[in-house]
Structure 1
Amino acid sequence: MTRTAQSLTSHGADLKSHNTSSVVEEIVATIEEDIVLGRLHPRERLVEESMMERFDCKRHVVRQALFQLESIGLAERIKNRGAFVRSYPPAEVEDIYAMREILELAAISMLPLPAHSKWLTELEEVHQQHSAAVEAHDLRQVFHMNIAFHRTLFQACGNTYLYATINEFAQKAHGIRFIAITDREALAQARHEHQLMIDAIRDEDRERLAALCREHLLPSKNRYLKLYS
Protein backbone atom coordinates (compact mmCIF):
# COMPACT_ATOMS: atom_id res chain seq x y z
CA MET A 1 0.00 0.00 0.00
CA THR A 2 1.32 3.43 -0.92
CA ARG A 3 1.87 6.13 1.68
CA THR A 4 -1.04 8.13 0.19
CA ALA A 5 -3.37 5.14 0.37
CA GLN A 6 -2.33 4.47 3.95
CA SER A 7 -3.03 8.11 4.81
CA LEU A 8 -6.51 7.96 3.22
CA THR A 9 -7.32 4.72 5.04
CA SER A 10 -6.21 6.20 8.34
CA HIS A 11 -8.22 9.36 7.68
CA GLY A 12 -11.32 7.32 6.89
CA ALA A 13 -10.94 5.34 10.12
CA ASP A 14 -10.57 8.58 12.10
CA LEU A 15 -13.74 9.99 10.53
CA LYS A 16 -15.68 6.82 11.27
CA SER A 17 -14.48 6.85 14.88
CA HIS A 18 -15.39 10.53 15.21
CA ASN A 19 -18.89 9.92 13.77
CA THR A 20 -19.48 6.99 16.12
CA SER A 21 -18.34 9.07 19.08
CA SER A 22 -20.70 11.90 18.08
CA VAL A 23 -23.68 9.55 17.83
CA VAL A 24 -22.84 7.98 21.20
CA GLU A 25 -22.69 11.45 22.78
CA GLU A 26 -26.03 12.34 21.18
CA ILE A 27 -27.68 9.16 22.50
CA VAL A 28 -26.30 9.68 26.00
CA ALA A 29 -27.39 13.34 26.11
CA THR A 30 -30.88 12.51 24.80
CA ILE A 31 -31.48 9.61 27.20
CA GLU A 32 -30.17 11.74 30.07
CA GLU A 33 -32.66 14.44 29.11
CA ASP A 34 -35.48 11.88 28.85
CA ILE A 35 -34.72 10.63 32.37
CA VAL A 36 -34.51 14.09 33.95
CA LEU A 37 -37.68 15.30 32.22
CA GLY A 38 -39.64 12.21 33.26
CA ARG A 39 -40.03 10.69 29.80
CA LEU A 40 -38.18 7.63 31.07
CA HIS A 41 -38.70 6.34 34.59
CA PRO A 42 -36.62 4.35 37.09
CA ARG A 43 -36.55 0.63 36.23
CA GLU A 44 -37.88 1.28 32.71
CA ARG A 45 -36.14 -0.91 30.14
CA LEU A 46 -33.85 0.64 27.54
CA VAL A 47 -34.50 -1.56 24.51
CA GLU A 48 -31.55 -1.76 22.11
CA GLU A 49 -33.70 -2.32 19.01
CA SER A 50 -35.85 0.72 19.77
CA MET A 51 -32.77 2.85 20.34
CA MET A 52 -31.18 1.62 17.09
CA GLU A 53 -34.31 2.70 15.22
CA ARG A 54 -34.66 6.00 17.07
CA PHE A 55 -31.07 7.09 16.53
CA ASP A 56 -30.56 5.34 13.18
CA CYS A 57 -27.42 3.55 14.28
CA LYS A 58 -25.87 0.10 14.70
CA ARG A 59 -26.17 -2.09 17.77
CA HIS A 60 -22.54 -1.58 18.82
CA VAL A 61 -23.12 2.20 18.94
CA VAL A 62 -26.17 1.76 21.18
CA ARG A 63 -24.19 -0.56 23.44
CA GLN A 64 -21.40 1.99 23.73
CA ALA A 65 -24.00 4.58 24.76
CA LEU A 66 -25.54 2.20 27.30
CA PHE A 67 -22.10 1.49 28.74
CA GLN A 68 -21.50 5.23 29.11
CA LEU A 69 -24.94 5.76 30.68
CA GLU A 70 -24.11 3.02 33.15
CA SER A 71 -20.73 4.56 33.95
CA ILE A 72 -22.31 7.92 34.85
CA GLY A 73 -24.97 6.26 37.02
CA LEU A 74 -28.07 6.74 34.85
CA ALA A 75 -28.52 3.15 33.64
CA GLU A 76 -27.85 -0.35 34.86
CA ARG A 77 -27.40 -3.55 32.87
CA ILE A 78 -28.76 -6.76 34.36
CA LYS A 79 -27.44 -10.07 33.05
CA ASN A 80 -29.91 -11.88 30.77
CA ARG A 81 -32.46 -9.08 31.19
CA GLY A 82 -30.98 -6.03 29.44
CA ALA A 83 -30.48 -2.38 30.32
CA PHE A 84 -32.75 -0.31 32.55
CA VAL A 85 -33.00 3.25 33.84
CA ARG A 86 -31.14 3.24 37.16
CA SER A 87 -33.27 3.19 40.28
CA TYR A 88 -31.39 4.32 43.37
CA PRO A 89 -32.39 2.78 46.72
CA PRO A 90 -32.69 5.24 49.65
CA ALA A 91 -29.29 4.41 51.16
CA GLU A 92 -27.51 5.26 47.88
CA VAL A 93 -29.52 8.46 47.51
CA GLU A 94 -28.44 9.53 50.98
CA ASP A 95 -24.81 8.70 50.15
CA ILE A 96 -24.87 10.62 46.85
CA TYR A 97 -26.36 13.71 48.45
CA ALA A 98 -23.98 13.52 51.40
CA MET A 99 -21.10 13.58 48.91
CA ARG A 100 -22.67 16.44 46.99
CA GLU A 101 -22.95 18.49 50.17
CA ILE A 102 -19.32 17.82 51.16
CA LEU A 103 -18.02 18.70 47.69
CA GLU A 104 -20.15 21.78 47.15
CA LEU A 105 -19.40 23.25 50.58
CA ALA A 106 -15.70 22.70 49.93
CA ALA A 107 -16.06 24.67 46.69
CA ILE A 108 -18.00 27.43 48.45
CA SER A 109 -15.10 27.83 50.88
CA MET A 110 -12.77 28.50 47.92
CA LEU A 111 -14.92 30.94 45.96
CA PRO A 112 -13.38 34.40 45.51
CA LEU A 113 -15.14 36.94 47.70
CA PRO A 114 -15.47 39.74 46.92
CA ALA A 115 -16.56 38.28 43.61
CA HIS A 116 -14.87 39.09 40.32
CA SER A 117 -17.23 41.30 38.33
CA LYS A 118 -16.94 39.13 35.20
CA TRP A 119 -17.91 35.98 37.11
CA LEU A 120 -20.83 37.66 38.89
CA THR A 121 -22.12 39.10 35.61
CA GLU A 122 -21.94 35.69 33.94
CA LEU A 123 -23.77 34.08 36.86
CA GLU A 124 -26.51 36.72 36.70
CA GLU A 125 -26.92 36.24 32.94
CA VAL A 126 -27.29 32.47 33.32
CA HIS A 127 -29.79 33.03 36.14
CA GLN A 128 -31.86 35.31 33.90
CA GLN A 129 -31.96 32.64 31.19
CA HIS A 130 -32.94 29.99 33.73
CA SER A 131 -35.62 32.29 35.14
CA ALA A 132 -37.07 32.91 31.68
CA ALA A 133 -37.21 29.17 31.03
CA VAL A 134 -39.04 28.62 34.33
CA GLU A 135 -41.57 31.34 33.39
CA ALA A 136 -42.13 29.69 29.99
CA HIS A 137 -42.20 26.23 31.60
CA ASP A 138 -39.63 25.16 29.00
CA LEU A 139 -38.39 22.13 30.93
CA ARG A 140 -35.63 21.25 28.51
CA GLN A 141 -34.17 24.75 28.79
CA VAL A 142 -34.72 24.74 32.56
CA PHE A 143 -32.66 21.56 32.81
CA HIS A 144 -29.76 22.90 30.75
CA MET A 145 -29.70 26.37 32.31
CA ASN A 146 -29.84 24.89 35.81
CA ILE A 147 -26.72 22.89 34.97
CA ALA A 148 -25.12 26.04 33.54
CA PHE A 149 -25.90 28.02 36.71
CA HIS A 150 -24.29 25.52 39.05
CA ARG A 151 -21.29 24.96 36.81
CA THR A 152 -20.73 28.71 36.56
CA LEU A 153 -21.01 28.97 40.33
CA PHE A 154 -18.63 26.14 41.25
CA GLN A 155 -16.09 26.59 38.47
CA ALA A 156 -14.97 29.76 40.20
CA CYS A 157 -13.55 27.69 43.08
CA GLY A 158 -10.40 27.32 40.98
CA ASN A 159 -9.85 23.62 41.71
CA THR A 160 -10.43 21.71 38.47
CA TYR A 161 -10.51 18.29 40.19
CA LEU A 162 -13.07 19.41 42.76
CA TYR A 163 -15.15 21.06 40.03
CA ALA A 164 -15.10 17.88 37.91
CA THR A 165 -16.13 15.72 40.87
CA ILE A 166 -19.00 18.08 41.74
CA ASN A 167 -20.25 17.71 38.16
CA GLU A 168 -19.87 13.92 38.32
CA PHE A 169 -22.06 13.61 41.42
CA ALA A 170 -24.55 16.17 40.11
CA GLN A 171 -24.94 14.02 37.00
CA LYS A 172 -25.55 10.90 39.09
CA ALA A 173 -28.40 12.79 40.74
CA HIS A 174 -30.14 13.44 37.41
CA GLY A 175 -32.00 10.17 37.81
CA ILE A 176 -33.19 11.39 41.22
CA ARG A 177 -34.12 14.96 40.26
CA PHE A 178 -36.79 14.11 37.68
CA ILE A 179 -39.67 14.66 40.14
CA ALA A 180 -38.62 18.18 41.15
CA ILE A 181 -37.96 19.42 37.61
CA THR A 182 -41.52 18.67 36.49
CA ASP A 183 -43.09 20.45 39.49
CA ARG A 184 -43.86 24.16 38.93
CA GLU A 185 -43.61 25.03 42.62
CA ALA A 186 -40.23 23.30 42.90
CA LEU A 187 -38.95 25.14 39.82
CA ALA A 188 -40.04 28.50 41.22
CA GLN A 189 -38.37 27.72 44.54
CA ALA A 190 -35.11 26.70 42.83
CA ARG A 191 -35.13 29.94 40.82
CA HIS A 192 -35.69 31.97 44.01
CA GLU A 193 -32.82 30.17 45.75
CA HIS A 194 -30.50 30.91 42.80
CA GLN A 195 -31.24 34.61 43.26
CA LEU A 196 -30.56 34.36 46.98
CA MET A 197 -27.19 32.75 46.22
CA ILE A 198 -26.28 35.64 43.93
CA ASP A 199 -27.35 38.09 46.64
CA ALA A 200 -25.14 36.30 49.20
CA ILE A 201 -22.18 36.44 46.81
CA ARG A 202 -22.76 40.14 46.23
CA ASP A 203 -22.95 40.70 50.00
CA GLU A 204 -19.75 38.65 50.48
CA ASP A 205 -21.62 36.44 52.93
CA ARG A 206 -19.96 33.02 52.53
CA GLU A 207 -21.78 31.49 55.50
CA ARG A 208 -25.20 32.40 54.09
CA LEU A 209 -24.17 31.10 50.66
CA ALA A 210 -23.10 27.77 52.18
CA ALA A 211 -26.41 27.43 54.02
CA LEU A 212 -28.35 28.20 50.84
CA CYS A 213 -26.42 25.61 48.84
CA ARG A 214 -27.01 23.00 51.53
CA GLU A 215 -30.76 23.68 51.58
CA HIS A 216 -30.88 23.77 47.79
CA LEU A 217 -29.95 20.08 47.64
CA LEU A 218 -32.80 18.83 49.83
CA PRO A 219 -36.05 19.15 47.81
CA SER A 220 -35.14 16.78 44.96
CA LYS A 221 -33.73 14.21 47.39
CA ASN A 222 -36.75 14.35 49.69
CA ARG A 223 -39.25 14.09 46.83
CA TYR A 224 -37.47 11.03 45.43
CA LEU A 225 -37.33 9.29 48.82
CA LYS A 226 -41.01 10.01 49.41
CA LEU A 227 -41.94 8.55 46.02
CA TYR A 228 -39.67 5.54 46.56
CA SER A 229 -41.31 4.74 49.88
Structure 2
Amino acid sequence: MESTMQGTAFEIMRIDQIHAIVSPTVESLLQPLGFEVQGPLSWLRSADAPIRQVFRLAQWKGGALAPSWGVSLDFVPHLCGNDFKWHRTAKSARPDLTFDVRDRAFDISYHYGPETIEKCAPDILRAAIPKAESFWNAARSITDLPGAFERVRQHLSTGGLGFYNYTQHPLAYAFVLAMNGKPDAAEEEFRRYHARLSEAAQKKLRKLFVEAGGYPGQ
Protein backbone atom coordinates (compact mmCIF):
# COMPACT_ATOMS: atom_id res chain seq x y z
CA MET A 1 0.00 0.00 0.00
CA GLU A 2 1.59 3.25 -1.09
CA SER A 3 0.66 6.92 -0.96
CA THR A 4 2.50 10.17 -1.42
CA MET A 5 3.33 12.62 1.34
CA GLN A 6 4.85 15.90 0.14
CA GLY A 7 6.38 14.11 -2.81
CA THR A 8 8.01 11.38 -0.72
CA ALA A 9 7.04 7.76 -1.25
CA PHE A 10 5.14 6.60 1.80
CA GLU A 11 4.63 2.88 2.27
CA ILE A 12 2.77 1.16 5.09
CA MET A 13 4.38 -2.12 6.09
CA ARG A 14 2.98 -4.92 8.21
CA ILE A 15 4.80 -5.98 11.36
CA ASP A 16 5.48 -9.45 9.96
CA GLN A 17 7.16 -7.85 6.94
CA ILE A 18 9.34 -5.70 9.16
CA HIS A 19 10.21 -8.72 11.32
CA ALA A 20 11.32 -10.67 8.25
CA ILE A 21 13.72 -7.88 7.31
CA VAL A 22 15.31 -7.27 10.71
CA SER A 23 15.30 -10.80 12.12
CA PRO A 24 18.46 -12.05 10.34
CA THR A 25 20.52 -9.27 11.92
CA VAL A 26 18.87 -9.53 15.34
CA GLU A 27 19.15 -13.29 15.48
CA SER A 28 22.78 -13.30 14.33
CA LEU A 29 23.52 -11.17 17.40
CA LEU A 30 21.11 -12.68 19.93
CA GLN A 31 21.10 -16.40 19.14
CA PRO A 32 24.72 -16.79 20.34
CA LEU A 33 23.52 -15.27 23.63
CA GLY A 34 20.78 -17.89 23.97
CA PHE A 35 17.79 -15.92 22.69
CA GLU A 36 14.86 -17.28 20.72
CA VAL A 37 12.09 -15.58 18.78
CA GLN A 38 9.12 -14.97 21.07
CA GLY A 39 6.90 -13.25 18.54
CA PRO A 40 6.96 -10.48 15.94
CA LEU A 41 9.77 -8.05 16.82
CA SER A 42 10.28 -9.79 20.19
CA TRP A 43 13.09 -12.08 21.36
CA LEU A 44 13.51 -13.82 24.72
CA ARG A 45 16.09 -15.72 26.77
CA SER A 46 14.84 -17.97 29.56
CA ALA A 47 18.10 -19.57 30.73
CA ASP A 48 18.17 -17.40 33.86
CA ALA A 49 14.52 -17.92 34.86
CA PRO A 50 12.92 -16.65 37.06
CA ILE A 51 14.62 -13.66 35.38
CA ARG A 52 14.07 -13.72 31.62
CA GLN A 53 15.75 -11.27 29.27
CA VAL A 54 13.64 -9.52 26.63
CA PHE A 55 14.65 -7.63 23.48
CA ARG A 56 12.05 -5.88 21.38
CA LEU A 57 11.62 -3.36 18.64
CA ALA A 58 8.95 -1.03 19.97
CA GLN A 59 6.64 0.99 17.73
CA TRP A 60 6.46 4.72 18.34
CA LYS A 61 4.45 7.54 16.82
CA GLY A 62 5.76 8.87 13.56
CA GLY A 63 6.39 5.50 11.97
CA ALA A 64 9.52 4.61 13.92
CA LEU A 65 10.75 1.48 15.60
CA ALA A 66 13.28 1.70 18.40
CA PRO A 67 15.19 -0.96 20.33
CA SER A 68 13.85 -1.73 23.79
CA TRP A 69 15.10 -4.24 26.32
CA GLY A 70 14.34 -5.40 29.81
CA VAL A 71 13.45 -8.35 31.98
CA SER A 72 10.38 -10.49 32.57
CA LEU A 73 10.11 -11.77 36.14
CA ASP A 74 8.40 -15.07 36.91
CA PHE A 75 7.59 -13.96 40.46
CA VAL A 76 5.72 -10.79 39.45
CA PRO A 77 2.04 -11.02 38.44
CA HIS A 78 0.22 -8.86 35.90
CA LEU A 79 -3.32 -7.55 35.81
CA CYS A 80 -5.70 -9.36 33.48
CA GLY A 81 -9.21 -7.95 33.61
CA ASN A 82 -10.02 -7.83 37.32
CA ASP A 83 -7.66 -10.65 38.24
CA PHE A 84 -3.93 -11.28 38.42
CA LYS A 85 -2.06 -13.86 36.43
CA TRP A 86 1.54 -15.03 36.16
CA HIS A 87 3.80 -14.85 33.12
CA ARG A 88 6.16 -17.70 33.88
CA THR A 89 6.68 -19.29 30.47
CA ALA A 90 8.53 -18.36 27.30
CA LYS A 91 5.19 -17.84 25.59
CA SER A 92 3.64 -15.62 28.27
CA ALA A 93 6.75 -13.63 29.30
CA ARG A 94 6.37 -9.85 29.15
CA PRO A 95 8.55 -6.95 30.26
CA ASP A 96 8.31 -6.09 33.96
CA LEU A 97 11.18 -3.63 33.64
CA THR A 98 11.65 -1.80 30.34
CA PHE A 99 14.62 0.23 29.13
CA ASP A 100 13.69 2.37 26.12
CA VAL A 101 16.70 3.90 24.41
CA ARG A 102 15.10 7.34 23.94
CA ASP A 103 17.69 8.38 21.40
CA ARG A 104 16.54 9.28 17.88
CA ALA A 105 19.83 7.97 16.53
CA PHE A 106 18.40 4.51 17.25
CA ASP A 107 15.08 5.07 15.43
CA ILE A 108 14.30 2.85 12.45
CA SER A 109 11.71 4.36 10.10
CA TYR A 110 9.24 1.86 8.69
CA HIS A 111 7.01 4.21 6.69
CA TYR A 112 9.25 4.42 3.64
CA GLY A 113 9.44 0.83 2.54
CA PRO A 114 11.76 -2.11 3.07
CA GLU A 115 14.81 -0.46 1.54
CA THR A 116 14.96 2.12 4.34
CA ILE A 117 14.76 -0.59 6.99
CA GLU A 118 17.35 -2.75 5.23
CA LYS A 119 19.70 0.22 5.06
CA CYS A 120 19.31 1.56 8.61
CA ALA A 121 18.47 -1.39 10.84
CA PRO A 122 21.71 -3.44 10.83
CA ASP A 123 23.98 -0.66 12.13
CA ILE A 124 21.41 0.43 14.72
CA LEU A 125 20.91 -3.11 15.98
CA ARG A 126 24.65 -3.77 16.15
CA ALA A 127 24.98 -0.67 18.31
CA ALA A 128 21.94 -1.40 20.50
CA ILE A 129 22.39 -5.05 21.39
CA PRO A 130 25.74 -4.62 23.21
CA LYS A 131 24.05 -1.94 25.33
CA ALA A 132 21.23 -4.36 26.06
CA GLU A 133 23.72 -7.07 26.97
CA SER A 134 25.39 -4.77 29.51
CA PHE A 135 21.97 -4.09 31.02
CA TRP A 136 21.12 -7.81 31.27
CA ASN A 137 24.51 -8.68 32.73
CA ALA A 138 23.87 -6.22 35.56
CA ALA A 139 20.46 -7.77 36.33
CA ARG A 140 21.16 -11.51 36.46
CA SER A 141 20.12 -12.17 40.06
CA ILE A 142 17.28 -11.08 42.32
CA THR A 143 19.74 -9.09 44.42
CA ASP A 144 20.83 -7.21 41.28
CA LEU A 145 17.31 -6.10 40.43
CA PRO A 146 16.81 -3.10 42.78
CA GLY A 147 19.84 -1.46 41.19
CA ALA A 148 18.50 -2.19 37.71
CA PHE A 149 15.16 -0.58 38.56
CA GLU A 150 16.90 2.50 39.93
CA ARG A 151 19.07 2.83 36.82
CA VAL A 152 15.99 2.71 34.61
CA ARG A 153 14.24 5.24 36.87
CA GLN A 154 17.19 7.59 36.47
CA HIS A 155 17.34 7.03 32.71
CA LEU A 156 13.65 7.86 32.33
CA SER A 157 13.85 11.02 34.47
CA THR A 158 15.10 13.26 31.67
CA GLY A 159 11.83 13.98 29.85
CA GLY A 160 9.31 12.04 27.81
CA LEU A 161 7.66 9.00 29.36
CA GLY A 162 8.71 8.66 32.97
CA PHE A 163 9.35 5.55 35.05
CA TYR A 164 5.76 5.37 36.28
CA ASN A 165 4.23 5.78 32.83
CA TYR A 166 5.13 2.11 32.44
CA THR A 167 2.28 0.62 34.45
CA GLN A 168 4.11 -2.58 35.33
CA HIS A 169 7.09 -0.77 36.87
CA PRO A 170 5.69 0.05 40.36
CA LEU A 171 4.12 -3.40 40.69
CA ALA A 172 7.28 -5.22 39.66
CA TYR A 173 9.50 -2.97 41.77
CA ALA A 174 7.29 -3.60 44.81
CA PHE A 175 7.74 -7.36 44.46
CA VAL A 176 11.47 -7.02 43.80
CA LEU A 177 11.97 -4.89 46.92
CA ALA A 178 9.86 -7.24 49.03
CA MET A 179 11.92 -10.22 47.91
CA ASN A 180 15.09 -8.31 48.77
CA GLY A 181 13.97 -7.72 52.36
CA LYS A 182 13.00 -4.06 51.93
CA PRO A 183 9.34 -4.06 52.98
CA ASP A 184 9.04 -0.31 53.65
CA ALA A 185 10.24 0.67 50.19
CA ALA A 186 8.22 -2.18 48.71
CA GLU A 187 5.04 -0.89 50.37
CA GLU A 188 5.59 2.57 48.89
CA GLU A 189 5.77 1.15 45.37
CA PHE A 190 2.87 -1.21 46.05
CA ARG A 191 0.63 1.69 47.08
CA ARG A 192 1.49 3.56 43.89
CA TYR A 193 -0.01 0.68 41.95
CA HIS A 194 -2.86 -0.81 43.95
CA ALA A 195 -5.01 2.32 44.40
CA ARG A 196 -6.24 2.00 40.81
CA LEU A 197 -7.67 -1.47 41.44
CA SER A 198 -11.08 -2.71 42.52
CA GLU A 199 -11.40 -3.86 46.12
CA ALA A 200 -11.42 -7.52 45.05
CA ALA A 201 -8.29 -7.07 42.94
CA GLN A 202 -6.56 -5.21 45.78
CA LYS A 203 -7.17 -8.13 48.13
CA LYS A 204 -5.87 -10.65 45.62
CA LEU A 205 -2.76 -8.61 44.91
CA ARG A 206 -2.08 -7.96 48.61
CA LYS A 207 -2.12 -11.71 49.26
CA LEU A 208 0.45 -12.31 46.51
CA PHE A 209 2.52 -9.38 47.77
CA VAL A 210 2.59 -10.75 51.34
CA GLU A 211 3.74 -14.11 50.01
CA ALA A 212 6.66 -12.32 48.33
CA GLY A 213 7.68 -10.65 51.62
CA GLY A 214 5.52 -7.53 51.64
CA TYR A 215 3.48 -6.17 54.52
CA PRO A 216 -0.07 -7.41 55.22
CA GLY A 217 -2.81 -4.89 54.49
CA GLN A 218 -3.67 -2.39 57.18
More strand by share: 2
State the TM-score, normalizing by the size of structure 1: 0.25
Q: Name which structure has the greater RCO, CA cutoff 8 Å, separation 6+.
A: 1
Larger radius of gyration: 1
State the TM-score, normalizing by the size of structure 2: 0.25
More helix by share: 1
